[in-house]
């Protein structure tokens, strides 16, 4: 199975987890997903009034410089860990 196919399967699996992950794990999932699918974050950091957008931007920005393949592998591993 190719890395992209494994990533696609992990995305599907993430929607069917038995329990909803905590917010920090959700942010990590979001950041890894965005880094794997879009690459480094771009644009301005959302303002103070957009707390959710700001947290998501920060989670993605923390992964700046991580390759798309490395982010895919981390995302797959995280989802596998959450499935157990």
Give me the domain span that covers residue 77: 3-14+23-83
Pairwise CA distance, residues 40 & 35, whole Å = 6
Pairwise CA distance, residues 42 & 54, whole Å = 13
pTM of the predicted structure, to 2 decimals: 0.92
How many domains does the chain fold into?
A: 1
Pairwise CA distance, residues 84 & 65, whole Å = 29
* CATH code of the domain covering residue 33: 1.20.80.10
Examine the pLDDT at 1 and tell me if it is beyond 90: no
Query: What is the per-residue pLDDT across 37-53, written as a single tens digit (0 to 9) for each?
Result: 999 999 899 999 999 99
Residue 13 near residue 79, CB atoms below 8 Å: yes
Residues in contact with 79: Cβ distance below 8 Å, sequence separation at least 6, in sequence order: 10, 13, 14, 17, 29
Pairwise CA distance, residues 20 & 14, whole Å = 9
């Amino acid at each position: 199975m190719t890395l992209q196919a494994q990533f696609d399967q992990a995305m599907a699996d993430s929607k069917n987890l038995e329990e909803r992950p905590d917010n920090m794990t959700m942010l990590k999932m979001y950041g890894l997903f965005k880094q794997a699918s879009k690459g480094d974050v771009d644009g301005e950091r959302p303002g103070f009034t957009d707390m959710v957008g700001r947290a998501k931007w920060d989670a993605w920005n923390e992964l700046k410089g991580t390759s798309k393949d490395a982010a895919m592998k981390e995302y797959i591993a995280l989802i596998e860990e959450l499935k157990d």
